[in-house]
Structure 1
Amino acid sequence: MSQGYAVTNPATNEVVESFDTFTDEQIQEALAKSHEAFQTWRKTPIEERAKIVSRAAELFKERKADLAKIEAQEMGKATPEGEWEINFSGDILQFYADNAPEHNKDKPVDVPGGKATVRRLPVGSLLGIMPWNYPIYQVARFAGPNLMNGNCILLKHAEITPKSAAAIEEIFREAGLPEGVYINIYADHDQIADIIADPRIQGVSLTGSERAGAAIAEIAGRNLKKAVLELGGTDPYIILDAADVTKAAEEAWVKRIENVGQACTSNKRIIVMEDIYDEFVDEMVRIAEGMAQGDPSNPEDNQYYPMSSRSAAENIDKQVQRAVDNGATIRTGGELHETAAYYTPTVLTDVPVGSDSYYEEFFGPVAEIYKVSSEKEAVELANNSNYGLGGAVFSDDTERATKVADQIDTGMIHVNLGQYFSPVLPFGGIKNSGYGRELSVFALDEFVNKQYLYIND
C-alpha cells in the first residue's frame, strides 16, 4: 500500500502522521456502500436530511478550535483564519438545510391537455475531489447542497490534509448521516480515474488547479459524466484612485496575504493608476518588510506563516525567479527558508505583460503590482488573463468604480471590497477558471435530475 497521504508540518517539514492509500478492494467496497446507501437516502424526506445537515453545521462550529489546530499542523493556516473558515462552513451547511426544502419543491407547469410537474430528483453517488487550501470550507460547499439533494458522496481530499478529511467524515456520521452516504476515501490518481468511470458514479466535482481540472474533465467527458470545476485565478484588483493610499495598500495587503496567498480568489494582479503607483508600491514594501516569521498554531500580529508544503514554497520561489529572468523586479522578499515551507512576503513589479510569468497564477505570498495610465488600460490588463474567477475595483467615486467593474470578465466582481463571503451568492468562474457554480441555490441545480412528469387528461 502507498504512503501518499501524510500530515507534514510545513513549519518544520516533519512528517507527523501517515495514512495508507486505499487498496482497490477498499475502493470497490466504498463504491458498493455508497450505491447501496443511495437507495435509502434518495427516499429520505428532505426535512429529515435537513435535520442531519443542520446538526452537522452545529458540530463544525462547536469543534472549530480543534479543527483549526488540525489545519495549522497540516497546511499552515493560522488558527484564527481556520476558525473563521470553519464557522463559515457551518453557515454554508445551515443555508442548505434552511433553503433546499423550498427550492427543491415540485413545480407545477401549465400545459394544455394534461398536468405537468417538474421534479428535482437525486442522481446518485458523486465523487468530490477537494484541495488543501480550505480543507473544511471546500467540502462544505460541495457536500451541503448534494446531501440535501439526496445524493451520496465519495470524498477524495488532498494528500496533505488526511486528518481534516477524517474529521469531516466523523462529524457527518455523528450528525446522523446513515452509513455509506458520505465516505472519505484515500485514493490515488489511477483509482480516481477508475471511480469516475464506474457506472455507480454520476458526477464529479473538483476544486483545484487548471491542470487537475483539465485531467478530470477529460476523464469525465470520456465517461459521459457531468463535472463541476472550480479552478485557478489571477484575479484583478484595480485601484483607480485613493485619497488614503496607505489605507488602500493595507487593505490590498490583507487580501493578498490571507491564507499565505493560497486562495483562488486572491488579488493576484494589483492594478494601480500611475499617479498613486509609486506611493502605493512603497507602502506595500513597508508592510511586507514589517512582517515576521510566525507559528500558525500560535499566531501574533504582523506575522507570516508557512505555505502548505515545502514543495509549494519551492515552486513559488521558482516562479518568482523566472519572473525576474523575464524582467520583473523584486522590491522586497523573495527568500525561501532553508528547510521549511516559509517564503518571505514578496512585492513584485515590472512583470512584462504578455510574458509566461504574467499569465501564471502565483499561489503564494507574492503581490504583483502593475501600473496603468487610464481606465481603458486597467480594463484591458484585467481582462488579459486566461482565467476569469473574481476581481475587485476601487475608487472613492463608487459610480466610477462600478462602470469599470461592468467591463471585467469574471464570474464574480466586487466594488470597493476585496471579496464578499456569503452562502447566498454563487461562486465560480469563466474561461480557464472552470465551469459550474457552488454556493447559493444555484449549487442545488448542478447534480440533480430536473425530471418532468406529465399526466394526460
Structure 2
Amino acid sequence: MSSAIKTINPATGDVIDTYDLMTDEEVKTAIRACHDAFESWRLVSLDDRADRIRAIGQALRDSKEDFAQLMTREVGKLIGDSRQEIELCAAICDFTAAQGPKDLADEERDIPDGKGVITYAPLGVIYGMQPWNFPCYQVIRYAVANLMAGNGVLLKHASNCTGSGLFLQDLMARAGLPDDLFTVLVIDHDQSDRVIADDLVRGVTITGSDSAGRVVAQQAAKHLKKTVLELGSNDAYVVLDDADIDLAVETCVAGRLYNNGQTCVAAKRFVVTEANYDTFVDRFTKKMAAMEMVNPSEAESGLGPMARTDLRDDLAEQVRDSVAKGARVLCGGEVPDRKGAYYPATVLVDVAPGQPAYDDELFGPVASVIRAKDDEDAMRIANDSRYGLGGGIFSKDTARARELAARHFDTGMVCINKYNLAIPNMPFGGVKNSGYGREHGGFGMKEFVNAKSLYIA
C-alpha cells in the first residue's frame, strides 16, 4: 500500500497536494495526546466549552472563502454550495453553543428518601470516519457535538479531502481549542482498525456506505465500543394524486442534483402515481436534460463533476446494469467526452426491483422514476427499500401528508412539499440499513456521554 495520499482536482485531473501517512507510532502518540487533552477538557465548564464552540463558528465565517475554494478544488462542489456549507457549519456551532449548556446540565428527580441527579459525563476520545461529499459539514456535525459534551475527537477524513481535514484542525487551533483535543489522523484502513481497538478510544462514528458501516460496527463490537452510523440511502420522493406538479418537478430536480447528486439525503427515487406520471416525467426530464455541466470553481449553478473518476465510473456501471435489466434512459446516461469526473443529469424510467436503480444507492446525478398505481401503492414502494434515511411527500393536503409521514413512512426524515438538508435544531439519522443513532437537534451531544445516576440521601 502507498505510504502517501494524493488529492486530485476532479474537474481538471490535476494533483492538488501529497500527504505522507502517519506511522503507527505517530498514531499511538496522537491518540494518547488527544486523551490527555480530554482529561483537562472534561473538567471545563459547559459555558466555557460553549464559548470555544462559538469561536469555532466565527473562525469558520472568517475563513469561509479560503475553505470553500479548497473544498471545491478537492471534491468538485459548486463554489456557491461550498460557501453555503461553511455557513451551515457555523450555524451548527451557534446552535450547539446556545443549546449545549441547557441540554447537558444536571437534572434532578425525586426519589424515595432523597434526591436523584442525572449528570452527563463525557466518555473520552471519540473516533470519526467521514466521507468527502461535505468535507466541512460531515466533520463539524459530530466533532462539535462531542467537544461540547466534553469529549476529545479524532478524525479520519476521506483521503481525497485530506486538505480539508487538516484545514479544520488548524482552524480549531486558531479558534482557541486546546492543543490535541481535535486531531486529524492521516492513515489507511488497516491503521484505522487499530485506532478502533485502542483502549483510549471510547466511541466510534462513521458516515458512509452500508457496507462500510457493517465493517466498522463489527470492528467496534469486538471491543465493546459504542457506534453511531449514518449510512447510505435511496430516498423516495412520493408524488401523490393531488400533488402540485410544478412544485414537485422543481423541487425534485433540485433535490436530485444538489451537491452534484452526491448527498446522503438526496432525492433519488421518484415514486409517481399514474394520475401524474406522464406529466411529471415529461417536465422532469426536460429540466434534467437542460442541466449544463460547469466548472465548479466558477459557477453558482449547473452540474459540477463527481468527486472522483472511479466513483463516476461506478455510477455509469450501475446505470448500464439497470438498463440491461429493463430500465430505459430518457436523458443522459453516457460518460461525456471531456476532462474531469463528469456525468450528466440522467433520468431512468421502467425502474423495477432487481435493478441497481431500484435496489441500491446511486450516488450521483441519476434519477430513478417509478410508476405507482395510486397513493397507497406509492407509499408501499417508498418503503420497499433496505434503506431509511430520508424521503419526501408532495400533496396539497398537508395534514394527510403529515399523517403519512409520521405513521407510515419508515425513514428518519421526511420533507413535505419541499426538499431539505439537515438543519441544526432537528435530529438527523436513519433506520434499517441507513444506520442508527442521531445527530443534530441536541441528540448528538448525548450519543457519547455517560448518563450517570447519583442517589443522594
What are the Cα deviations for residues 364-414 of structure 1, in whole angstroms up to 9, with x where unaligned? 000111111211110110010000111110112223322332311001112
TM-score normalised to structure 2 length? 0.97
Contact 2:318 2:356 in 1 (8 A): no
AA matched with 2:454: L
- Name the structure 1 match of 2:145: 145
Percent of paired sites with the same residue = 40
Q: Please, what is the CA RMSD of the aligned residues?
A: 1.5
Q: Give secondary structure in 2 for the equivalent of 1:388.
A: coil
- Which runs of 5 or more structure 2 residues have no equivalent in the other structure? none
TM-score normalised to structure 1 length? 0.97
- CA drift at 1:444: 1.3
- CA drift at 1:18: 1.0
Contact 1:13 1:309 in 2 (8 A): no
- CA drift at 1:357: 4.2
Contact 2:242 2:397 in 1 (8 A): no
Q: Give secondary structure in 2 for the equivalent of 1:257.
A: helix
Contact 2:81 2:300 in 1 (8 A): no
AA matched with 2:19: F
Q: Which whole-Å CA distance do the structure 1 matches of 2:80 and 2:270 have between them? A: 26
Q: Give secondary structure in 1 for the equivalent of 2:438.
A: coil
Q: Which whole-Å CA distance do the structure 2 matches of 1:98 and 1:404 have between them? A: 33
What are the Cα deviations for residues 39-82 of structure 1, in whole angstroms up to 9, with x where unaligned? 11111112111111100001111221211111111000001111
Contact 1:72 1:296 in 2 (8 A): yes
Residues 19-168 of structure 1 aligned to structure 2 (within 5 Å): 19-168=19-168
- CA drift at 1:242: 5.8
AA matched with 1:134: F
Q: Which whole-Å CA distance do the structure 1 matches of 2:94 and 2:316 have between them? A: 40
- Name the structure 1 match of 2:199: 199
- CA drift at 1:244: 5.2
- CA drift at 1:356: 4.8
Q: Which whole-Å CA distance do the structure 2 matches of 1:371 and 1:379 have between them? A: 12
- Which runs of 5 or more structure 1 residues have no equivalent in the other structure? none
- CA drift at 1:421: 4.0
- CA drift at 1:441: 1.0
Q: Give secondary structure in 2 for the equivalent of 1:161.
A: helix
Q: Which whole-Å CA distance do the structure 2 matches of 1:17 and 1:104 have between them? A: 41
- Name the structure 1 match of 2:315: 316
The answer to whether the aligner puts 1:414 opposite 2:403 as a matched pair is no
The answer to whether the aligner puts 1:9 opposite 2:9 as a matched pair is yes
Residues 397-436 of structure 1 aligned to structure 2 (within 5 Å): 397-405=397-405, 406-419=407-420, 421-436=422-437
- CA drift at 1:454: 1.8
Contact 1:242 1:248 in 2 (8 A): no
Seen in structure 2, the aligned counterparts of structure 1 residues 332 and 121 have a Cα distance that, compared at 3 Å, is same
Q: Which whole-Å CA distance do the structure 2 matches of 1:400 and 1:111 have between them? A: 43
- Name the structure 1 match of 2:447: 446
What are the Cα deviations for residues 290-336 of structure 1, in whole angstroms up to 9, with x where unaligned? 122200000054x2110000011001000000000110000010121
- Name the structure 2 match of 1:330: 329
Count of equivalent residues:
455
Q: Give secondary structure in 2 for the equivalent of 1:177.
A: coil
Q: Which whole-Å CA distance do the structure 2 matches of 1:159 and 1:389 have between them? A: 25
Contact 2:267 2:391 in 1 (8 A): yes
Q: Which whole-Å CA distance do the structure 2 matches of 1:204 and 1:243 have between them? A: 42
Q: Which whole-Å CA distance do the structure 1 matches of 2:429 and 2:373 have between them? A: 30
- Name the structure 2 match of 1:369: 369
Contact 1:120 1:449 in 2 (8 A): yes
AA matched with 2:181: V
What are the Cα deviations for residues 399-436 of structure 1, in whole angstroms up to 9, with x where unaligned? 33223323110011121112254211000010000000
- Name the structure 1 match of 2:456: 455
